[in-house]
Amino acid sequence: MPHLKPIYRISPVTITAASGAAAALCLAGFEAVGWRLHDRLPLPLFEAAGTAAGLALVLGALLVPFARRIFRQAAGAGDALLKAFNVSSDAICICRLDDGAILKINSTFADLTGYAEEEVVSRPVGRLELWRSRGQFLVLARRVEREGEVRDFETAFIRRDGTPVPALITASVISFRGERCILAVTRDVSALTTARETIEKLSQYDTESGLPNQNLLLDRLNQIISLNSRVNRSTAVIYVGIDGFKGIVDALGLTGSNDLVRDLARRLNAALRRTDTAARLHRDEFAIVLGGELQENDLAPVLAKLAGVFARPIKVRSVEINVTASFGIACYPADGCTAELLLQHSHMAMNQAREAGIRFRYFSASMNVKAAERLRIESGMLRSIEDGEFFLCYQPKFANNGQDITGMEALVRWGRNGEVIPPDRFIPIAEENGLIVPLGEWILTEACRQNRRWQEDGFAPLQVSVNISPRQLLQHDFPDRVEAILAQTGLPPALLELEITESAIMGSSDDIVLKLLRLKEHGIAISIDDFGTGYSSLAYLKNLPVDKIKIDRSFVMDIVSDPDDAAIVDAVISIARALNLGVIAEGVESRGQLDFLVGRNCTEFQGFYFSRPLPKEEFADLLRSRGMQERGPVAAAPRRPEAPPVLPSRRSVVPAPLTVVEYMVEVTHLIKPVAPLDRIINVLSRFQLAPDLRVLPVVEGEEIVGVVNRSTFLEEHIIGRYGFAAHINHAKKIRELMEPVALTFESTTRIEDAAASLNSRIGTLRLDNICITRNGAYVGMMDVDRFLKAMTDLQLVLAKGANPLTGLPGNTSIERTIAERLNSEIPFDIAYLDLDNFKPFNDHYGFQKGDEIIRKVAEIMTAVAAGAPEANAFCGHIGGDDFILITDADQAERLAESIVAAFDGEGLFFHGARDFAVGFYRAVNRKGEPETFPLISISVGIVNTARSQVNSYAKLASLSTEVKKAAKKTRGSAIVIDGIAA
C-alpha cells in the first residue's frame, strides 16, 4: 500500500504533566541503583512510572531481582515516552520557573525557532530574544505559577532569522530534576492566521477588482461622517453605474469582463486622491467616497477626472472597448446624514441620470418625497396595530329584492394623527413588506369578534366577509390560524366568509387548494373577489372549493352604457349559475345598475347605492332600522372547542430546496369519509354524485378503519354478482361492507421512500386504497395520478443533475442531500475532494487522460462507499475535479483514507513509467513558463456539522472550502479535519 501522509487535525492541543511528587519518587529510585536518567530521559512524561520506581527502592533489599525487572520495564516505558516527546509535531520546551532557563527542548522546537538544542539549554528565554515582547513571557510565567495551567496563550515568536511566528502555548507547572519548571507546548498557527486574514480580506474586499466592498465602504463612510460632524465639514458620495454591462459580458465573457473591471479599478484609484475610497458594490456598480476636507469647488475637478477614466477605451484581449458610465452624487449633510442614506440617494441620482441619458445627476430632494411617504407609512403600521389605530367598517350586502341584508364585508381603515388613511395608500405597502400578515390576522380576529358580539346582542345571524391576502394563504399554518380565531371568538364557522382575489387562487399550487378544502370542511365559506380581472380557467374554476364569485366593480361601473361590460357581466353570471355558485356584484351605485343585475338573476349586491361602509356603531343602527334585532343582549354562549384538523398543517415538514413535490401530504386526495355506522344509501348517493370517486374511506373518531371500493360495492351490493339487480338491504351498515385498509403512509413520508416500500407489493395492492395519516389520524387518500407524476418529476430532476462524465449525482442532488441531512438535525460528515494541479496535468497529458482520472476518482469513491454500508455514504461530483463525500458522523475520515490510498496507488497508470519513477513531470504553467510539477494528488477537507455547529448549506460549503485549502498547502495527498466548534 502506498505511503499516506499524516492526517493533520486543526484543533486545540492540551498536554497535561504528571504530578511532581511522582516525578521526584521516580528520579530518586533510578538514581539509587546508579541510573542517571536525567540525561537520557529528562521528560515529565515518564513520571507515571515514578511510583513504581520509588516502591522498588523501599523493597529493594528484599526483592532486588524483582526491583531490577521493574526498573527495566520503567526504562522501556521511558524510552517510548522519550520517542513520543521527540517526534511530537508540536514544539515542547521545559524551562526553570525561577529564571526562565531552558532545560530541555524537542526537535520540533528547534525547527520552529531555528535554534539547536545545545544553543539554548541552560540559557534563559529572555536572552534568546525568542519573544516579540519579553514581557509576555513574564505574564505567562506568573499566570502558570498562579493558576497551575494556562491553555491557548496567544503570542508570537521571533525565529533566529527574524521571522515572526504566531503561536498558541499551553503550559503547566511540573517538577523536573527536583526543580519547579514550566512545561510549554507550542503550536505554530501561521496557517490559521493566514486563513483568518484571508477570510477578513474576503469580507472587506471584492475578489475580482481588489477594491473595497460595500462593508468596508460603509465603515469608512461612517468614520468620515463621524469626523466631519464634529468639525462641520462636508463630503460626497459618487455612485458610478457602467452602462450596458450585460452586453460587455456577452461580448467578452466572464473572464474578459473581469479583466475590464480590474482595469477600471486601477484607473479609478489612479484618478482619486489619497484620502478618497473607491469600492465595487455590484458587478457593474462602483461607489466613491470623498475623504479629507472637501470644499465647494472640489467636486468639479473630481468629476472631470472620473469622466476621463471612461473617456479612454479599455483594451481587453487586443480589443478596445469604449465604456460609458452614469454618475449620481449625494452630499453630506445636505442629502443625508447617514452612510446608508447617502449611498441610497446617490444610487437614486445615478438611476435618474441613466434614465435621462445624461452623465451626471445630483440628488434632488423631490426624488425622495414618495419614498419618505412610504417610509412614514411603513414605520407607523406595526406600531399602529399595537396602539389600536386601525378600525373596521362594515358594508352591508343586500338580496336581489334590494331590501334584505344578507351579510356584510369588513373593511379596514387607519386613523392616524386625526386623519383617516384610505386602504389604497397602505395595503399595497403592507403586501410588499409582509405587514399584511399581522394586519390581516388582526382584521380577521376583530371581524369575527364583532360578529359574535352582534349575535350576543340579539341581532339576526349574518355572515361576515373578510379579505385574505395571498401572503396569508402562503403561510403553512393558515387553516390552523383561522380555526384558532373562530375558537377564540366563538363565531360559528358558517358565519365567516373568506374573500380571496382571483389572481391569488387561479393557477395556485395544490398546497393552497388543500388549505381551502380544509377550511371548507370546517364549514367556512370561500368566495373569489374581483372576478374577471385575472386569468381564470373555467376547467380550473370548476374544481376549486369556492361558494361564490364577486363581480369586480370595474365591470359594474359601465354595464348600462358599455355593451362589452354588460356582456362580461352576463357571462360571469352564467358561469356562476352553471357551476352552482352564488354571485355578488360590488360597486353598485345607481338604480340602472341594480335593475340590470336583477334582470340577469344576480343574487346579491353591494355598493354605495345601498350604503357606504359604516363604523360598527352605525352598522348596528342600520340593522335595528331594518328590524334585524330579534331580542335584547344575552349572555355569551360557551365557546365551541376547536375541531380537530381535517388536513395536515405541514408544520413539521421542511421540504428540500427543489421545485418538485416530495412528500406524501402533497399527493393527498381529500375525500370526506363515511362512518362505520352510516347506512348503505349514504355510500350509494356519494358514488352517484361523484362519478370519478373510486374509493370512500371509513373513519371512526380520527382513525381510518376501512375503505369502500366503488367497483366492489356496486357489483356485490347493488348490481349483484351475476348481473341481475339485487335486493338492497338498507339495514346494512358500512361496517359490514368495508374492506380492510391495505397500507397507510404518514403525511411527512418522502415520496421516494413510499415508492421504495411499494415496489415489492405493486402487483398485489390497489394504489387508490392507500391512506394518508398525520400522527395516526386520517388525512386523505393517496392521489394515484399525482403520486406517479411526482415520482416522474423527481426522477427527471435528479437525472438532469447527474454528471455525464462520471454518472455521479450532480449539484442538484448534492444540495438536496445536504439540505435533508441538515433538516434532520442529525450530525454528519462532509468531505470535499479536490485534485491538486489538475490543470497542468490535463494540459500536459491531454484531456482524455484527464477524463480518465476524473472517472477513476468516481470509481474509487463508489467502490469505497459500497464497501462501507454502515457509513451511509453519498458520493457526488460537484464538477471539474471537485467531488463530495457525505457520511454519517465520524465516518468520512476512514473512507477518505481508503480513497486517498487507492488514488495514490494508481500513480503509474496516471503518469506512465518514466514520470512516475522520477516522481515529477515538467509542464507549462499558467504564465506560459516551464515548471516542474509533482505527481497528481488529492486533497480532502472534512467538516463535522456537530463540532463546527453548521446549520446552513452556505456556511457548510464555506467552511469545507477553507479546510480543503489547508489540505492543499501540504505537498502530495493529504486529509485535513476541522474539529473546532464554529
Q: What is the DSSP string of 719-750?
A: I-TTSSPPPP-TT-BHHHH-B----EEETTSB
Write the pLDDT tens digit of every residue in 486-508: 999 999 998 999 999 877 765 45
Q: Which is nearest to 357 in space by CA: 236, 244, 444?
A: 244
Write the pLDDT tens digit of every residue in 192-223: 777 777 777 777 888 888 899 988 898 889 88
Structure confidence at residue 638 (pLDDT):
38
* Lowest mean pLDDT across 382-386, 630-634, 666-670, 934-938: 630-634
Per the prediction, the chain carries an average pLDDT of 77
Write the pLDDT tens digit of every residue in 643-658: 333 332 333 333 333 3
Per-residue pLDDT at 880 exceeds 70: yes
Mean pLDDT in residue range 820-842: 85
b/e code 218-246 from CB counts within 10 Å (16+ = b): bebbeebbeebeeeebbbbbbbbbbeebe
User: pTM, whole model, 2 decimals?
Assistant: 0.37
966 burial (CB, 10 Å; 0-12 / 13-18 / 19+) is buried
* Lowest mean pLDDT across 27-36, 406-415, 656-665: 27-36
Write the pLDDT tens digit of every residue in 136-184: 777 888 888 888 889 888 888 888 888 888 888 999 998 888 888 989 9
Please report, for the chain, the start and end positions of each structural domain, with discontinuous segments joined by +.
8-188, 195-363, 375-625, 664-794, 802-978
Half-sphere exposure of residue 160, counting CA atoms within 13 Å on the CB side? 10
- Give the N- to C-terminal CA distance of the chain in Å, as an integer: 36
Q: Are strands 496-501 and 463-468 parallel, antiparallel or unpaired?
A: parallel
778 DSSP β-pair partners = 773
Per-residue pLDDT at 968 exceeds 80: no
Per-residue pLDDT at 716 exceeds 70: no
CA distance linking residue 10 with residue 645, whole number of Å: 51
Quickly list DSSP for 381-400: HHHHHHHT-EEEEEEEEEET
Mean pLDDT in residue range 784-808: 68
Structure confidence at residue 663 (pLDDT):
76
CA distance linking residue 937 with residue 923, whole number of Å: 16
CA distance linking residue 964 with residue 976, whole number of Å: 7
Structure confidence at residue 189 (pLDDT):
85
CB 638 within 8 A of CB 492: no
Q: Which is nearest to 861 in space by CA: 938, 968, 774?
A: 938
CA distance linking residue 113 with residue 126, whole number of Å: 14
b/e code 375-388 from CB counts within 10 Å (16+ = b): eebeebbeebbeee
Write the pLDDT tens digit of every residue in 650-707: 333 333 333 456 678 888 888 888 888 887 777 777 777 777 788 899 998 888 999 9
Place of cell 526491583: 67
Structure confidence at residue 642 (pLDDT):
35
Q: What homologous superfamily does CATH list for 8-188?
A: PAS domain (3.30.450.20)
Place of cell 520509588: 54
Structure confidence at residue 2 (pLDDT):
42
Class of the CATH domain delimited by 802-978: alpha beta
Per-residue pLDDT at 822 exceeds 80: yes
CA distance linking residue 354 with residue 286, whole number of Å: 15
> Topology of domain 375-625, per CATH?
TIM Barrel (3.20.20)
* Lowest mean pLDDT across 31-35, 239-243, 457-461, 806-810: 31-35
CA distance linking residue 793 with residue 658, whole number of Å: 11
The three cell numbers of residue 804 are 455525464
> 8-188 and 195-363 share one CATH topology?
no
Structure confidence at residue 871 (pLDDT):
92
Mean pLDDT in residue range 378-384: 76
More confident residue, 655 or 384: 384
Q: Which helix (H) or strand (E) element contains residue 270?
A: helix 245-271
pLDDT above 70 covers a percentage of the chain that reads 77
* Lowest mean pLDDT across 61-75, 359-373, 926-940: 61-75
> Topology of domain 664-794, per CATH?
CBS-domain (3.10.580)
Task: Count other C-beta atoms under 10 Å from residue 89's C-beta.
Answer: 12
CB 171 within 8 A of CB 177: no
CB 497 within 8 A of CB 526: yes
Structure confidence at residue 981 (pLDDT):
35
Judged by DSSP in three states, 237 sits in strand
| pLDDT band with cut points at 50, 70 and 90 for residue 56 | very low
> Which amino acid is present at 980?
I
CB 579 within 8 A of CB 541: yes
CA distance linking residue 237 with residue 346, whole number of Å: 7
Structure confidence at residue 37 (pLDDT):
38
Write the pLDDT tens digit of every residue in 433-451: 778 889 999 999 999 999 9
CA distance linking residue 592 with residue 556, whole number of Å: 11
Mean pLDDT in residue range 1-14: 37
Q: Among 313-322, 627-636, 859-868, 969-978, which range has the highest average pLDDT?
A: 859-868
Rounded to the nearest 10°, the torsion over CA 960, 966, 970, 974 is -30
Structure confidence at residue 676 (pLDDT):
87
Angle made by CA atoms 286, 290, 296, in degrees to the nearest 5: 125
| pLDDT band with cut points at 50, 70 and 90 for residue 42 | very low
CA distance linking residue 976 with residue 6, whole number of Å: 9
| pLDDT band with cut points at 50, 70 and 90 for residue 971 | confident
Mean pLDDT in residue range 790-814: 68
Structure confidence at residue 18 (pLDDT):
32
More confident residue, 774 or 720: 774
CA distance linking residue 620 with residue 343, whole number of Å: 53
CA distance linking residue 483 with residue 375, whole number of Å: 34
What CATH architecture is 195-363?
A: 2-Layer Sandwich (3.30)
Counted residue by residue, the chain has a size of: 982
Per-residue pLDDT at 122 exceeds 50: yes
Per-residue pLDDT at 484 exceeds 90: yes
Write the pLDDT tens digit of every residue in 945-966: 888 776 666 666 666 667 667 7
> Which amino acid is present at 466?
V
Q: Which is nearest to 524 in space by CA: 468, 446, 608, 458?
A: 468
Rounded to the nearest 10°, the torsion over CA 966, 970, 974, 980 is -30
The three cell numbers of residue 264 are 477600471
Q: Which is nearest to 656 in space by CA: 579, 751, 583, 572?
A: 751
Q: Which is nearest to 974 in space by CA: 933, 928, 942?
A: 942
Per-residue pLDDT at 98 exceeds 80: yes
CA distance linking residue 525 with residue 523, whole number of Å: 7
